């Protein structure tokens, strides 16, 4: 389907700054809309989607001087991977836009649900999508977890529902908020990009900052920072809690999930939730809140959750050898996410951790490793020396080894369990870019290695 050319793009000289998945989606969208004055700017010398650029005849500026002529463009679409703090962008800041901004400007439906948080975004967005489909057949899922949101635009109608997973990189310069905003949690993350924790919190809070009084903001009462932020919201606030009853919200009581939104009612038993770990309970509660507010019955919500399965690379069971389970949690790119994975198990855990730096502090991670049933840690990647140092100091009783490849790390972890019952858990606490294309590539390689184990 051909997209209508937005009026503010007609006759403009446009740059696409950064050519990852969203940059490629934007190029296709603009080209279908009839925009031809396009140039791709990227610091990489060679692009993965280069064949598409060549096919469409789009100009490029690549390599170390890719920003040399950035002042020549009328409009610059910044991909999420490109930091706003890039000094060269200063003089052209007023000309910046993004694929996320464009989506919110052109989206024909106001029924948009945005989900963000340091961890749990993908699982929660997927849960909400599955729940809403029980009432609204035309419900779509897009954003940071897979499908670029611009890919949806040609298909969307006025009454459709859209669930978006939104990262801080997508939110940081957004000037719109979704009708329903879900903020799951905030822990120190991406500080190398945002500069400090307050700036990271500010980026995340964009998800509700522009909401109207009839909008809905769902967040976790158990987190002090989120309670404080909720006081700034102009929308109706709905809290969730795993710790205490709420006057208006979704909470855990007596082994059950209870709603007090209209009348007090039990939604489902905790034992019926198929997802492991307290962190997944914190993902389930906002999804239930979203479903109830949108008019989905508690029975249909419970059925949706009972049949939900973990997303790829999120505590995904990928193999079994004797009494040893192999779990792929490659999505866990922060110490907090890694610990959430570790805390999901009560049997001995041989953990595979390490990767490229996100400037995280591993002290709390190591201390919690010492308190959990981790019997061995296989360390890989650039952060292995630092992680080994903090483990030696704060978890000295946990055996560990450093390895140059993932194959060696898997073998080391498997061997450490010595045939007893346990879990080999890939939950790295780090990014993947030192050794892999991305976290998904890391997880897929782990699956292949497990499949070939004798």
Which ranges in 210-269 belong to alpha helices (H)?
A: 224-230
Closest CA to 377 of 337, 423, 332, 444: 423
The length of the chain in residues reads 454
Both tokens assigned to 411: 């073998």
Task: Please say whether the beta carbons of 340 and 332 come within 8 A.
Answer: yes
Q: What value does the mean pLDDT take over residues 117-131? A: 91
Residue-wise pLDDT tens digits, 91-107: 788 899 999 999 999 99
Work out the average pLDDT over 25-52. 86
> Is residue 186 pLDDT above 80, yes or no?
yes
Q: What top-level class would CATH report for the domain 316-452?
A: alpha beta
Report, as an integer, the average pLDDT of 389-414: 97
Residue-wise pLDDT tens digits, 200-232: 899 999 999 999 999 999 999 999 999 999 999
Classify strands 249-253 and 399-402 as parallel, antiparallel or unpaired: unpaired
Most confident of 9-13, 39-43, 209-213, 340-344: 209-213
Token pair of 220 as six digits: 């976790």
pLDDT for the residue 279: 79
The reply to whether 7-97 and 316-452 are identical in fold is no
* Topology at the third CATH level for domain 101-306: 3.40.1190
For residue range 128-167, what is the model confidence (pLDDT) as tens digits? 999 999 999 999 999 877 789 999 999 999 999 999 999 8
More confident residue, 188 or 204: 204
The pLDDT of residue 399 is above 90: yes
316: phi then psi, degrees, rounded to nearest 5 = -90, 125
Domain 7-97, CATH = 3.40.50.720
Average pLDDT score over residue span 7-31 = 88
- Domain ranges in the chain are 7-97, 101-306, 316-452
Q: Is the pLDDT of residue 68 over 60?
A: yes
What average pLDDT score do residues 304-333 get? Answer: 89
Chain centroid offset of residue 124 CA:
10
Candidate from 348-352, 355-359, 407-411 with smallest mean pLDDT: 355-359
pLDDT for 267 equals: 97
């Amino acid at each position: 389907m051909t997209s209508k050319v937005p009026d503010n793009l007609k006759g403009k000289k446009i740059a696409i700054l950064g050519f990852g998945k969203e940059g490629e989606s934007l190029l296709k969208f603009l080209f279908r809309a009839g925009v031809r004055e396009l140039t791709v700017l990227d610091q990489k010398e060679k692009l993965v989607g280069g064949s598409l650029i060549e096919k469409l005849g789009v100009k490029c500026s690549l390599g170390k001087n890719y920003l040399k002529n950035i002042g020549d463009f009328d409009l610059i679409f910044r991909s999420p991977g490109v930091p706003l703090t890039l000094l060269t962008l200063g003089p052209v800041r007023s000309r910046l836009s993004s694929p996320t901004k464009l989506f919110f400007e052109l989206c024909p439906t106001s029924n948009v649900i945005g989900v963000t948080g340091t961890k749990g975004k993908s699982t929660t967005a997927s849960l909400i999508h599955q729940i809403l489909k029980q009432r609204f057949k035309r419900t779509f899922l897009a954003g940071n977890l897979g499908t670029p949101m611009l890919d949806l635009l040609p298909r969307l109608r006025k009454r459709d529902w859209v669930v978006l997973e939104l990262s801080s990189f997508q939110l940081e310069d957004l000037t719109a908020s979704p009708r329903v905003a879900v903020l799951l949690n905030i822990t120190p993350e991406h500080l190398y990009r945002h500069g400090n924790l307050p700036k990271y919190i500010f980026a995340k809070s964009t998800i509700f900052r522009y909401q109207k009084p009839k909008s809905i903001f769902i967040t976790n009462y158990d987190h002090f920072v989120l309670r404080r932020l909720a006081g700034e919201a102009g929308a109706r606030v709905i809290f969730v809690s795993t710790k205490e009853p709420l006057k208006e919200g979704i909470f855990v009581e007596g082994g059950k999930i209870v709603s007090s939104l209209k009348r007090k009612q039990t939604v489902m038993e905790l034992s019926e939730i198929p997802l492991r770990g307290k962190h997944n309970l914190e993902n389930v509660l906002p999804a239930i809140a979203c479903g109830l507010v949108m008019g989905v019955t508690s029975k249909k919500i419970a059925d949706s959750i009972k049949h939900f399965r973990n997303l790829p690379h999120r505590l995904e069971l990928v193999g079994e050898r004797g009494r040893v389970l192999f779990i792929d949690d490659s999505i866990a790119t922060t110490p907090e996410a890694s610990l959430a994975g570790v805390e999901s198990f009560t049997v001995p855990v041989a953990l595979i951790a390490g990767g490229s730096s996100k400037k995280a502090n591993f002290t709390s991670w190591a201390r919690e490793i010492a308190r959990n049933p981790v019997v061995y840690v296989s360390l890989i990647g650039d952060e292995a020396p630092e992680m080994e140092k903090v483990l030696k100091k704060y978890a000295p009783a946990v055996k560990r080894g450093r390895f140059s490849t993932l194959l060696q790390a898997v073998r080391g972890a498997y061997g450490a369990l010595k045939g007893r019952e346990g879990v080999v858990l890939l939950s790295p606490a780090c990014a993947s870019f030192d050794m892999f294309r991305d976290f998904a590539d890391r997880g897929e390689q782990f699956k292949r290695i497990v499949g070939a184990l004798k």
